Amino acid sequence: MSAKPSIFVSNAFAGAPPGKVLDLGCGTGRNSIPLLSKGFDVYFVDFSRPMLELAMKKAREAGCILKKSRVALRSISSLKGYKSNFFDFVIASGTLHQVAGQGELEALVGSIRRILKIGGKVVVEVFTADHIGANLHPTLEGVYMTDSGIIQTLLPANEIVNIFCKNSLQLLGRYSLCLTKERMGYRSSIMRAEFTKIKSKQ
């Protein structure tokens, strides 16, 4: 993913009133720092200490106040420390495919549902199995390894949407599916979608 803010994420927040945001796999804060500067209460989560330290540095340089309580060094799959029905927004940009298998993805989406308020929004950008790049090699069903040894869980876009819907996270409008720009001789498919939490029918 680019170091610049995602246009899709930026558009998803256009006109939205400030609220509590969880940036899941925030990296260096490319999406969260612009929101922080607009008055959103942003929680930064990433498994990389250097990434988080750089995000905190960038926040200071942007004149933003980022409390240490808003920064968590942890796996994106570990959301147990957050209260239920707490966040107004969750950003998952370039992160959901980093889990280890479909079961872990389903568990993570369930956790996102738990911490999100009714009517809250999830903004998703995720690589999919609709187009498999030449650098990806299958290991288990739905799990691939890159040439550099990175594990990715890739499912067709419609299956990812179904996982969200089964967790009372309703698709807003339609999702988009496109190919990334060609890099190193290969291209990958990426899905962009927004979901909102609705009351469970159970």
Question: Considering the chain, what percentage of its residues have pLDDT values greater than 90?
Answer: 74
Would you call 161 helix, strand, or coil by DSSP?
helix
pLDDT at 201: 67
DSSP string, 98-141: GSSSHHHHHHHHHHHHHHEEEEEEEEEEEE-SSS--TTEEEEET
Write down the mean pLDDT value for the chain.
91
Q: Which domains, ranges and CATH numbers included, belong to the chain?
A: 19-129+156-181+188-197 (3.40.50.150)
Q: How confident is the model at residue 13 (pLDDT cuts 50, 70, 90)?
A: very high
CA distance linking residue 160 with residue 138, whole number of Å: 18
